Structures are given as C-alpha cells and as structure tokens.
Amino acid sequence: MQCLRWQGQFCQYVDGWFDNNWGAKYNAKSWALGSETAGTLFWRMLNGDGLLKQAGTKVALLYIGSNDFGEGDQDDQGQMTVADTLIVEVRAMVRWMMDQSPDLKVIVMGLMPKTGYNVDGSLSFKVNPPTWKAVKHYNEKLRAFGEAEERVRYVECNDAFLMSDGVSINKKLMIDGLHPNLDGFKILGMCIDPFLQQYLGSGNPSSVSTSSSG
C-alpha cells in the first residue's frame, strides 16, 4: 500500500495491516488521502488518478465523508444539510465507477464515529450530538442505496468502536477518537472481509480500496 499523505503512527497501522492482509490476500491497492472529502475524491476519479485502472479490478471498497462533516460545530440543520448533500455525491460517484467498469462491484462503508471537543479544545472522546445524528441519517440513506443497487453492498462496522452508552468512543480502538489503531483495523478487517469473500472467494488479485482519512 502507498500511504500518500497519511503520516506517523496511523500510516504505520494502515500500511502494516493492509499489506499483510488484503494486500497479500487480494492484491488490493489503496488510494487513501488524509483530509479528503467526497468532492476531492470524485475529482481525482474524474481526472484520471488511476483509481479504477488496475487491470482486473472486480471490487471497490469506498469509505468517504467523515471530513465533509468538519469539526462538528454546526447545528442540527447544518449537519443534516451536509448529510443530504453527501449522499447525493456518493451515489453519483458509485454510479460513475460502475459505468466505467461494467463488472465492478462496490462495497460502501457507513461512516464511523468521530470525537467531539471539550470547551477547552481537548478531545471529548464522545460523539458530537448534531454530527452523529446526521451521520446516522447519512448511513441509513447509504444502506438504502446499497439495498436498491444490485452491484452495491452496504457494510457498517461501528458497534465495536462505541461504548455501551452509544456516545463514548472506544479509546482502545481509536486512540485519537477518529483513526483506528492496529487493533481497530483488525476489527474492521473481520467486519468487511466476509463481503469481499462473497465477490472474490478466498483470494483473488482484483480488489481496489478507496478511502479517506480524517
């Protein structure tokens, strides 16, 4: 995997887990960029960034949108507007991807929780209520899209990353309240891999992953 603009320990987690698992098993490639939004990812696709040019690509795993919600300081209406705009962009992106590759299957992943902030600017390790409400709204729309499109599957892996109160983030898996650490990536792998196996079997050099970092 090429760790593009990710830096430090999170890049290490992604590189190490990805290369030793999906990279080895499926010959998967990643085009993740830190701080990316749905709009910038779609721009890269439309401008020939190579996202779908790997020969024999059969499956794309798409995780995008966390950065579209910003720092979580908007009100309910503002965040809901972000969610409604985002689903339109992601549906257009996925349909474009499938138009480019008629045999391509797309796995779309629901957005994960991200920390809010305390008044002093420190991490609260609790979701911001307006943002989390809008994220869940977006995820439900994304789920419906996956159910309606024959070549699209929806996957959500959030249960392990939230504590039992439904608002506190599991610090053992997301040490900065946003990025999974190595244990977090292992859990994501166990959540997503059954969907990959449905399309690729026990191993097939044909998967591409596109995703976003916070």
Q: Above pLDDT 70, what percent of the chain?
A: 81
Q: What is the pTM of this model?
A: 0.89
Across 18-32, 55-69, 108-122, 130-144, least confident range:
18-32
What residues contact 209, with CB distance under 8 A and at least 6 apart? Answer: 18, 22, 28, 29, 30, 31, 32, 60, 61
Taking the C-alpha atoms of residue 17 and residue 10, their distance in angstroms, rounded to an integer, is 11
Residue 13, pLDDT > 80, answer: no
Q: Report in angstroms the alpha-carbon separations of 201 from 23, 32, 34.
A: 15, 24, 30
- Region 8-213: CATH code: 3.40.50.1110
Domain boundary assignment for the chain: 8-213
Taking the C-alpha atoms of residue 95 and residue 163, their distance in angstroms, rounded to an integer, is 35
Residue 104, pLDDT > 50, answer: yes
Taking the C-alpha atoms of residue 13 and residue 200, their distance in angstroms, rounded to an integer, is 24
Per residue in 17-70, pLDDT tens? 777 888 888 888 777 777 889 999 999 888 876 666 665 688 999 999 999 997
**pLDDT in the model for residue 2:** 46
Across 64-73, 94-103, 162-171, 204-213, least confident range:
204-213
Among residues 96, 100, 55, which one has the least CA distance to residue 206? Answer: 55
